[in-house]
């Protein structure tokens, strides 16, 4: 994964957005304990997905512990939900991401985290 493809300067502040009375719309989650020093998940495809959303003009946040402890989210603003869903559908239809990408990768990352915690 080339972290240079993600524009960290374009990420919006989800905590500030939440304090202003809006709840960020979360669409991807992973254990915070698995995040790298930049807050990214240990999944190259998920990082590329984030960069791809930014390239298509979706304002995204990396929201650490926004809703649940030890959970980091990719989130968008309320006004971007429909555009986000349209972009995700386009990415699935074109084969750039697998169908159900967000759910499948989220489940995989949490499963990997759980397996790591339960090892002797």
Tally the domains of the chain. 1
User: For residues 29 and 46, is the Cβ–Cβ distance under 8 A?
Assistant: no
Average pLDDT, stretch 89-113? 95
Distance of alpha carbon 50 from alpha carbon 87, whole angstroms: 12
pLDDT of 1 higher than 50: no
pLDDT tens profile 39-55: 999 999 999 999 999 99
Range of the domain at 40: 3-118
E strands in the chain: 25-31, 60-64, 71-76
pLDDT tens profile 3-15: 568 999 999 999 9
pLDDT tens profile 59-87: 999 999 989 999 999 999 999 999 999 99
Across all residues in the chain, what is the average pLDDT?
92
């Amino acid at each position: 994964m080339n972290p240079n493809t993600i524009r960290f300067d374009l990420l919006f502040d989800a905590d500030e957005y939440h304090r202003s009375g809006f709840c960020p719309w979360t669409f991807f989650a992973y254990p915070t304990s698995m995040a790298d020093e930049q807050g990214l998940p240990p999944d190259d495809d998920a990082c590329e997905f984030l960069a791809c959303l930014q390239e298509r003009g979706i304002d995204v946040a990396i929201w650490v512990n926004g809703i649940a402890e030890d959970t980091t989210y990719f989130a968008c603003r309320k006004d971007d939900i429909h555009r986000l869903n349209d972009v995700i559908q386009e990415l699935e239809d074109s084969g750039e991401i697998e169908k159900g990408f967000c759910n499948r990768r989220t489940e995989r990352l949490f499963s990997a985290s759980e397996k790591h915690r339960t090892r002797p």
